[in-house]
Amino acid sequence: MFGRRVMVVGTGYVGLTTGACLASLGHEVVCADIDAGKVERLRRGVVDIVEPDLAELVSEQTSAGRLSFVVGAGAALGAFEDSRPAEVLFLCVPTPMGAGGVADLRAVESVIEEVGAELAAGTVVVNKSTVPVGTAARTAELLERTDVAVVSNPEFLREGSAVKDFLGPDRIVVGSDNQDAAERVAALYARLGAPTVLTDAASAELMKYAANCFLAMKLSYVNAMAELCERVGADIGDVTEGIGYDRRIGQAFLSPGPGWGGSCLPKDTHALLQVADSADFEFRLLRATIDTNTRQRQRIVDKVRLAVTGKRTGSLSRVRLALLGLTFKAGTDDLRDSPALAIAALLRQAGADLVGFDPMLRGPGELDGITLASDAVEAAQGAEAVVVLTEWAEFRTLDWAEIAGVTKQPIVVDTRNIVDPATPRRAGLTAVGLGRQQDTVHQT
Ligand code: UDX
């Protein structure tokens, strides 16, 4: 039989996607979580996170009898058909960034403590979370089992397209110092036909950081280039289109923005810097990538300040601003490390009054000192500028004439360059973006 018995511990973005997708590939999957309420909801097919296709896949696989949910890792051990033991255990528990940028492994440790001794001989323990180099070795130490192998199999899922990314991956990475175990894990994905990199544990662990930090560097580079465009009268859209045709660079991940955020890129860049520091390696390029991103937030605040007051040093005190989009990117309800919220905090520090609208957070309500409105026009009432912070598609087609009719000053600052500047301009608004020709800064 093709299907393997797979236990997944943790039903967050990664765990639930992994469980449901592995079930759809024909494996028998038992997902465990310590949150009993969540498990009960999942059994009824209720998925708390916003992720396209995930709820449908969970219901479909649960009905097909390939996917089930239990409370606690211990309960998963006896939950397979005919009480047979799990063959593979996926660890998909959170590894938050702890003090000094080091990932906090307590959740991994507690799973090992709970079920490590009970695993059948020959079980493979797979780490899917992004963890510091050396964690596979550390996990093996904690396990104290010579008959249970540890494998690192990093995930590369993006929020908002996790199922699609899982079932159509660019590559599968499996690393272990036990090649037989690595091959068994790779075989779970065989039906996907994706290129597979079989390597040692440390290389697999480093690969995830290498990928995410490279992406962060690409974005910091583009944001810096957009700033340069403003100084030399060039257009970042044309520049990135032009360089993107070079296959060595590629068109993806070249949109300037308010800075990168989310649950992975900020955490991973800091963690890799920590890995480098502890290996006595001064990773200047990575530090500059992070610094450029921090600076980008201040740059947006300065742009808003200049647009609203006409002065670089103008005051934003008591200035009412409408913020459109608060999630860290479009297509998710995730606010973790959202650049929009970081910029909002800086604007508030500067004394501005903030009203926000996000399609995922309908008002009335309040979030971090931002009054939530129930639509963009309501948010724009009396505002001295409308600031677009997340690239929600619906912001492309806003009725700018209506917005211009309710704002105090007709200004839109588009930090994602998603609004065609001609549209608000026709409605009488001044449109400010990032690195477009009309954003050229005339040095005085
Ligand atoms: C990322 C990685 O892409 C994924 O492979 C990894 O597994 C987890 O981290 P995710 O955090 O879901 O995924 O977000 P992603 O789509 O990569 O965006 C990250 C940040 O970069 C967001 O703040 C986004 O708005 C920003 N971004 C992305 C840009 O500013 N411009 C772009 O062109 C692309």
Q: Report CA(422)–ligand 1 centroid distance (Å).
A: 28
Name which of 1-15, 192-206, 306-320 the model is least confident about.
1-15
Q: Kindly state the tokens that stand for 144.
A: 């104290």
3-class secondary-structure state, position 433 = coil
Query: Where in the sequence of the chain do the CATH 3.40.50.720 domains occur?
Result: 5-199, 200-444
Ligand 1: list residues with CB < 6 Å: 155-159, 212, 215, 219, 253-255, 257, 260-265, 328-329, 339
Closest among 352, 367, 294 to 322, alpha carbons compared: 352
Q: What pLDDT does residue 362 have? A: 80
State the Cα–Cα distance between residues 166 and 168, nearest whole angstrom: 6
3-class secondary-structure state, position 170 = coil
- Which atom of ligand 1 is nearest to 258's Cα? 30
Q: Cβ(114)–Cβ(88) under 8 Å?
A: no
Q: What is the mean pLDDT of residues 405-420?
A: 97
Helices (H), 155-264: 162-167, 179-188, 201-232, 236-244
Mean pLDDT of the chain, nearest integer:
95
If you take atom 30 of ligand 1, which residue's CA is the nearest one?
257
pLDDT in tens, 145-186: 999 999 999 999 998 999 999 999 999 999 999 999 999 999
Closest among 144, 139, 110, 145 to 126, alpha carbons compared: 139
Label residue 355 by pLDDT band (50, 70, 90): very high
- Cα–Cα distance list, 430 to 72, 303, 322, 427 (Å): 56, 13, 15, 9
Q: What pLDDT does residue 102 have? A: 64
Q: What pLDDT does residue 104 have? A: 81
Position 1 pLDDT exceeds 50: no
CB-based burial of residue 279 (10 Å sphere; 0-12 exposed, 13-18 middle, 19+ buried)?
A: exposed
Q: Report CA(392)–ligand 1 centroid distance (Å).
A: 14
- Cα–Cα distance list, 228 to 8, 99, 220 (Å): 47, 35, 12
For a mutational test of ligand 1's pocket, the pick from 153, 157, 172, 264, i.e. the residue with the most ligand atoms closer than 8 A to its C-beta, is 264
Any bridge partners for residue 152, and if so which?
A: 127, 175
Residues labelled as active-site residues: 264
State the Cα–Cα distance between residues 129 and 407, nearest whole angstrom: 46
Position 275 pLDDT exceeds 80: yes
For a mutational test of ligand 1's pocket, the pick from 54, 95, 129, 158, i.e. the residue with the most ligand atoms closer than 8 A to its C-beta, is 158
Q: What pLDDT does residue 95 have? A: 80
CB-based burial of residue 245 (10 Å sphere; 0-12 exposed, 13-18 middle, 19+ buried)?
A: exposed
Pairing label, strands 365-367, 370-372: antiparallel
Q: Which residue has the tokens 């947006």?
A: 300
Q: What pLDDT does residue 438 have? A: 84
Q: Which CATH class is domain 5-199?
A: alpha beta
pLDDT in tens, 95-130: 876 766 566 889 999 999 999 999 999 999 999 988
Position 233 pLDDT exceeds 70: yes
Helix axes 201-232, 135-143, angle to 10 degrees: 150
If you take atom 34 of ligand 1, which residue's CA is the nearest one?
253
- Which atom of ligand 1 is nearest to 212's Cα? 2
Closest among 406, 326, 319 to 368, alpha carbons compared: 326
With a CB cutoff of 8 Å and minimum separation 6, the contacts of 293 are 216, 219, 220, 223, 259, 260, 266
Rounded to the nearest 5 degrees, what angle is found at the Cα of 104, between the Cα atoms of 102 and 108?
A: 135
| CATH node for 200-444 | 3.40.50.720
Q: What pLDDT does residue 96 have? A: 79
pLDDT in tens, 363-394: 789 999 999 999 999 999 999 999 999 999 99
Q: What pLDDT does residue 443 have? A: 59
pLDDT in tens, 285-343: 999 999 999 999 999 999 999 999 999 999 999 999 999 999 999 999 999 999 999 99
Rounded to the nearest 5 degrees, what angle is found at the Cα of 231, between the Cα atoms of 350 and 301?
A: 10
